[in-house]
């Protein structure tokens, strides 16, 4: 077999593979003999099907498989031997339907290859990138503690509405203009209304002092938001509710409950953090503050990562083999979107690839690697978070390791974790190289930075 390289330009090349019959015949013949030995066809004894029939049935597919194996392995070996840094996958310039799959033929295949450019990172203090630090105030800590106490609280049954912190359970029915049940109107059984979500006092009046079995008539669209209306009526989309302006509903109360918040005591602390880890209210508040700070730091790092990517892509602007990438990207996306949508997203695809080029260069320059234990540790954190959502917390470490190893059996999960860890190392390396400006902001200021009110 012969491989010829044609350098089109700095970022594009074509490699041609010349495959002669001697390159594949031995393996093809061996596979056909195995087919014959395993054959079990009506009218013939096992393993005694005539060679001619075996060849007629299987020679083309066996030949195609062997040629495909040769091509894939040869290109991969060539890329490794030549130390080529490629983007995407080699793209064939031929139509596979035009190939004459006959044993004894010689084959010629041309593949386009897109090359990754050599770039100069040139990272220094002159690169001005802001990294935000979101401050944690006492109000925010108290809000989170209040949320925790509510989440770990319980509902207690009451006889009547008292202070509008109650939850009403019951059945709701749409009424007509005469305040009678509307034909084909909206209704929902065993739903609930959270009175704390009624913000305007004038809409609270129908619910005042409500008791079990009371029938409450009220304007649903004026009293609650669209999101809450969907929940109350057990619908998924607002289009299912039609126009509810000036439409009244009747709610028959079947139960009244009120949330009683949990007490911040040792039992709660043990449930949250494990036995004898947190002992006092002060330690509880400190732990909550630390958790908020960690979450804020993660959010700030995510934004910094996005800002770094945008900044370096604009600064370095790595040149790309655009024509090749358009062909390759369309080949991978044509089953997922039409050409119009692909054309719209193509510039964003290129920016992602430019960042990949930069990230690879940073990893190479600073010798960044991801070790096996790091992958297992990250997988343990992922499964720990997933299990916690089902109430499985404080699991022994050996169980978490087993869960993590099972998660990593999926190569897609493993690749994603390696990519995430390496990207994190790249960002931290950039932080050390450019020394970003640290800017403290409040939660409100940060939210405004992320999504300005004008949007």
Q: How many Å apart are CA 67 and CA 64, to the nearest integer?
A: 5
Residues 6+ apart with CB under 8 A from 304: 129, 131, 132, 427, 431, 436
Per the domain annotation, does 121 fall within a domain? no
What gap in Å lies between CA 313 and CA 399, rounded to an integer?
A: 42
CA distance 2 to 70: 12
Instruction: Count CB-CB contacts under 10 A for residue 377.
Output: 16
Q: Quote helix, strand, coil % in the chain, to nearest 5.
A: 50, 20, 30
Is 288 in the same domain as 365?
yes
Scan for tokens 């062909």, then name that residue: 327
Residue 159 forms part of a structural domain = yes
For residue 372, is it within any domain?
A: yes
Q: Are residues 180 and 315 in the same domain?
A: no
What is the rounded CA–CA span in Å between residue 385 and residue 40?
52
Residues 11 and 92 in one domain: yes
Residues 11 and 109 in one domain: yes
**Same domain assignment for residues 7 and 90:** yes
Concatenating the DSSP letter of every residue in 302-358 gives HHHHHHHHHHHHHHH-----HHHHHHHHHHHHTTTS-HHHHHHHHHHHHHHHHHHHH
Residues 439, 297 share a domain: yes
Domain boundary among 227, 260, 293: 260
Residue 236 lies in a domain: yes
Q: Torsions phi, psi of 12, nearest 5?
A: -135, 140
Q: pLDDT by residue for the chain (455 residues), tens digit each? A: 899 999 999 999 999 999 999 999 999 999 999 888 888 777 787 778 888 888 888 999 999 999 999 999 999 999 999 999 999 999 999 888 889 999 999 999 999 999 999 998 888 888 888 999 999 999 999 999 999 998 888 889 999 999 998 999 999 999 999 999 998 899 999 999 999 899 888 999 999 999 999 999 999 999 998 889 999 999 988 788 878 888 999 999 999 999 888 999 999 998 888 888 899 999 999 999 999 999 999 999 999 999 999 999 999 999 999 999 999 999 999 888 999 999 999 999 999 999 999 999 999 999 999 998 999 999 988 888 887 777 666 778 888 888 889 989 888 899 899 989 998 899 889 888 888 889 999 999 999 888 775 54
Model pTM above 0.85 = no
185 and 315 in a single domain? The answer is no
User: What is the C-alpha to C-alpha distance for residues 117 and 320, in angstroms, rounded to an integer?
Assistant: 7
- Residues 345, 380 within the same domain: yes
Q: How far apart are CA 144 and CA 138, in angstroms?
A: 10
Residue 43's CATH number: 3.30.70.1050
Q: How far apart are CA 43 and CA 96, in angstroms?
A: 35
Q: Which helix (H) or strand (E) holds 438?
A: strand 437-441
- Final residue of a structural domain among 196, 226, 260: 260
Whether 161 and 136 have beta carbons less than 8 Å apart is answered as no
Question: What's the confidence (pLDDT) of residue 110?
Answer: 95
> Residue 352 belongs to what domain range?
130-138+281-450
SS3 state at 419: helix
54 vs 62: CA distance, rounded Å: 11
216 and 323 co-located in one domain: no
User: What are 193's two structure tokens?
Assistant: 């209304």
**Are both 240 and 95 inside the same structural domain?**
no
Separation CA 439–CA 428 (nearest Å): 17
Q: 216 in a domain, yes or no?
A: yes
Asked if residue 14 belongs to a domain, the reply is yes
Q: What is the 3-state secondary structure (H, E, C) of 377-390?
A: HHHHHHHHHHHHCC
Residues 308 and 432 in one domain: yes
* Inside any domain, residue 311: yes
Question: Angle 140-141-142 (CA atoms, 0-180°, nearest 5)?
Answer: 90
- List, in sequence order, every beta strand (DSSP E) within 204-288: 215-219, 248-260
> Is 219 inside a domain boundary?
yes
Tell me the angle at which helices 281-316 and 339-365 cross, rounded to the nearest 10 degrees. Answer: 100
Return the closest-CA partner of residue 442 out of 302, 291, 300: 300
Point out which residues pair with 107 in neighbouring strands: 19
Buried b (16+ CB within 10 A) or exposed e, 284-320: bbebbbeebeeebeeebbebbbeebbebbbeebebeb
What is the Rg, in whole angstroms, of the alpha carbon atoms belonging to the chain?
33
Residue 207 dihedral angles phi and psi, to the nearest 5°: -95, -5
Predicted pLDDT of residue 11: 95
Number of structural domains (the chain) is: 3
Q: What pLDDT is recorded for position 192?
A: 94
Say yes or no: 363 and 333 in one domain: yes
């Amino acid at each position: 077999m012969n491989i010829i390289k044609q350098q089109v330009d700095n970022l594009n090349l074509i490699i041609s593979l010349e495959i002669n019959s001697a390159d594949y015949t031995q393996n093809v013949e061996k596979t056909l003999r195995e087919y014959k030995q395993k054959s079990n066809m009506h009218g013939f004894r096992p393993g005694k099907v005539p060679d001619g029939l075996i060849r007629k049935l299987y020679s083309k597919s066996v030949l195609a498989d062997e040629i495909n194996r040769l091509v894939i392995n040869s290109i991969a070996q060539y890329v490794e031997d030549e130390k080529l840094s490629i983007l995407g996958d080699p793209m064939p310039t031929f139509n596979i339907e035009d190939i004459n799959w006959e044993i004894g033929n010689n084959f010629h295949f041309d593949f386009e290859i897109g090359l990754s450019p050599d770039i100069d990172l040139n990272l220094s203090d002159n690169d001005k990138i802001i990294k935000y630090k979101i401050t944690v105030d006492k109000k925010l800590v108290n809000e989170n503690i209040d949320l925790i106490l509510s989440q770990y609280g319980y509902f207690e049954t009451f006889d009547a509405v008292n202070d509008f912190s109650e939850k009403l359970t019951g059945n709701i029915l749409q009424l007509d203009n005469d305040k009678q049940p509307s034909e084909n109107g909206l209704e929902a059984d065993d739903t609930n209304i959270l009175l704390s979500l009624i913000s305007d006092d004038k809409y609270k009046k129908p619910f005042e002092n409500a008791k079990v079995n009371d029938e409450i008539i009220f304007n649903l669209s004026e009293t609650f938001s669209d999101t809450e209306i969907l929940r109350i009526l057990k619908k998924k989309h607002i289009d299912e509710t039609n126009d509810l302006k000036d439409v009244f509903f009747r709610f028959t109360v079947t139960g009244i409950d009120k949330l009683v918040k949990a007490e911040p005591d040792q039992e709660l602390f043990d449930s949250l953090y494990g036995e004898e880890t947190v002992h006092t209210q002060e330690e509880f508040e400190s732990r909550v503050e630390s958790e908020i700070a960690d979450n804020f730091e993660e959010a700030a790092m995510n934004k910094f990562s996005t800002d770094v990517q945008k900044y370096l892509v604009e600064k370095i602007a790595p040149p790309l083999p655009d024509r090749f990438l358009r062909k390759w990207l369309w080949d991978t996306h044509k089953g997922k979107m039409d050409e119009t949508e692909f054309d719209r997203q193509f510039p964003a695809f290129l920016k992602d690839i430019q960042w990949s080029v930069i990230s690879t260069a940073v990893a190479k320059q600073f010798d960044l690697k991801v070790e096996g234990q790091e992958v297992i540790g990250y997988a343990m954190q992922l499964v720990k978070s997933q299990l916690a959502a089902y109430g499985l917390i404080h699991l022994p470490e050996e169980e978490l390791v087993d869960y993590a190893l099972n998660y990593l059996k999926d190569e897609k999960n493993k690749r994603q974790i390696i990519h995430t860890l390496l990207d994190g190392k790249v960002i931290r390396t950039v932080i050390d190289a450019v020394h970003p400006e640290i800017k403290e902001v409040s939660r409100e200021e940060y939210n405004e930075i992320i999504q300005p009110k004008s949007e």
